A and B are shown apart, each in its own frame.
Chain A
C-alpha cells in the first residue's frame, strides 16, 4: 500500500515538473511560437500510448498461450490506459493543427491510423462488455486484440498511398531530423520519460483493480454455489 502511494506521488510530481519544463524551461519555437509547446505532451503521449498498446498485445499473446487470468487483467489494463493516451493524442493534435495547418483534421496516414487504432481498442473494450463468462471473455478479447494489433501497420501503409500532411517525422525521419535546440531535446526526452512513468503507474493501478474484481467474482460464485 505504502509503495503504491509513493509511486503515485512520484508520478504526479513528475507530470507537474514536466508541465513546468514544457512551458517555462524549453525555449519558444521560432516559426510556430507558443503552440509548439503542446508537442511535448502530444508526442510523448503518443509514444507512451503506443508502448502500452504493444504491452497489451504481448499480454494478449501470453493469455492465449498460458491461460492465466493475470494476463487478461494486464491486457485490459493496458488497453484502457493506452486508449486514454491515444485520446490525449487525438485531442492535442487538432489543437496544434488548427493554428499551424489551418485545419483541425486531415485524413493523412498518421492521423487516420491513430484514429483507426483508437476505434479498434474501443471495439476491444466493447467486446469485453458483451461476453459474460470470464474465461471466454478473456480468450475472445485476447484474440481480437491480436487481430487488431496486426491490422495497425497495414492501416498505416494503406493510407500512405494518399498524400500525407503530418510533419515529416521529427525523429528517425532522415539526416536533418531531430530537435535542433539542446534544451528542447532535454525537455522532450524528460517528457517522454515522465509519460512512460505515468502510464506505468496507471497500468499498475488498473491491473490491481482488475485482479481485485476477478477475486470478487470468484468469491461471489462460491457464495452462489454454497
Chain B
C-alpha cells in the first residue's frame, strides 16, 4: 500500500514539473512532426506504400522521440541533486521508477494521440475504423518503451556522453517493440484490417517481463 501511495505522490510531482513548463511535450510533438515530414520527403510514398510503410515510420519516429524524451527523466534529479532525498523519502525505490514510468507513458501517449490525426492526414491513412485497437497497441508499445527507457535513463544519467548513450543502449533493446507494433499496426490499417491478437499479447508480455526485471533490479540502479 505504501508503494501505491508513494507512487501516486511521486507521479503528481512528475506531472506538476512537466506541466509547469510543458518543455518535454512540446519538443517531442514538434520532433515527431519533423521526422514524419522528413520521412515522407525521403520516400514520397503512394497511398498503397503509405499503408505499408506508414505505421513503421510512425513507430520509428515515436522511438526516436522517446529516446530523446526520456533523457531528462533521471538527469533532472541529478542536476538538482534530488535523487538521494527521493530515495530517503520512499520506502520502496521501485515507487520512484513506477512514478517515472507512468509519467513517461502518459507523456508518450499524449504526444501520440496528438500526432495520430496529423499522421492520418499526411499519409492519407484512415485511422478511425480501428481506432480503439490502434490506441491499445499504442498504449502497450508506449508502456514497453517507457519501462525499458526509464531503467536505461537511470543508467545513462550516470555516464559520460549521456545524450548519445541513451539511444545507443535503448534502441537495440526496443527492437521487439518496434517490430511487433509496426507489424500489428500495418495489419490494422490495411484495406481489409486484420487483428493480430498474438502480437498484442506479445507486447503485453514484453511490458510484463521488463516490469518484472525492473522490479527485481531497479533498486541497484539508484545506488549512490
On A, residues with C-beta under 8 Å from B are: 64, 112, 116, 119-120, 123, 126-127, 130-132, 136, 139-140, 143-144, 146-148, 150-151, 154-155, 157-159, 161-162
Contacts and interface: CB of A to CB of B under 8 A. Distances in A.
Contacts of B172: 116, 119-120, 123, 151
A140 B217 contact: no
Q: Output the residue of B152, B169, B175, B183 with the most chain A CB within 10 A.
A: B175
Contacts of B206: 154
Contacts of A147: 148, 151-152, 173, 210, 213
Nearest to A119: B172
B168 interface: yes
A139 B223 contact: yes
A148 B176 CA distance: 12
B109 to A, nearest CB: 22
Given A64-B217, A130-B161, A161 B168 contact: no
A154 B209 contact: yes
29 contacts: A64-B217, A116-B172, A116-B175, A119-B172, A120-B172, A127-B159, A127-B169, A130-B161, A131-B158, A131-B159, A132-B160, A139-B220, A139-B223, A140-B158, A140-B221, A143-B220, A143-B221, A144-B152, A144-B169, A147-B173, A151-B176, A154-B176, A154-B206, A155-B175, A155-B176, A161-B180, A161-B199, A162-B179, A162-B183
Interface residues of B, number: 28
Nearest to B198: A161
Interface string B175-203: 11001100100000000000000010010
Contacts of B221: 140, 143
B24 interface: no
B125 interface: no
B176 A158 contact: yes
A111 to B, nearest CB: 13
Nearest to B218: A143
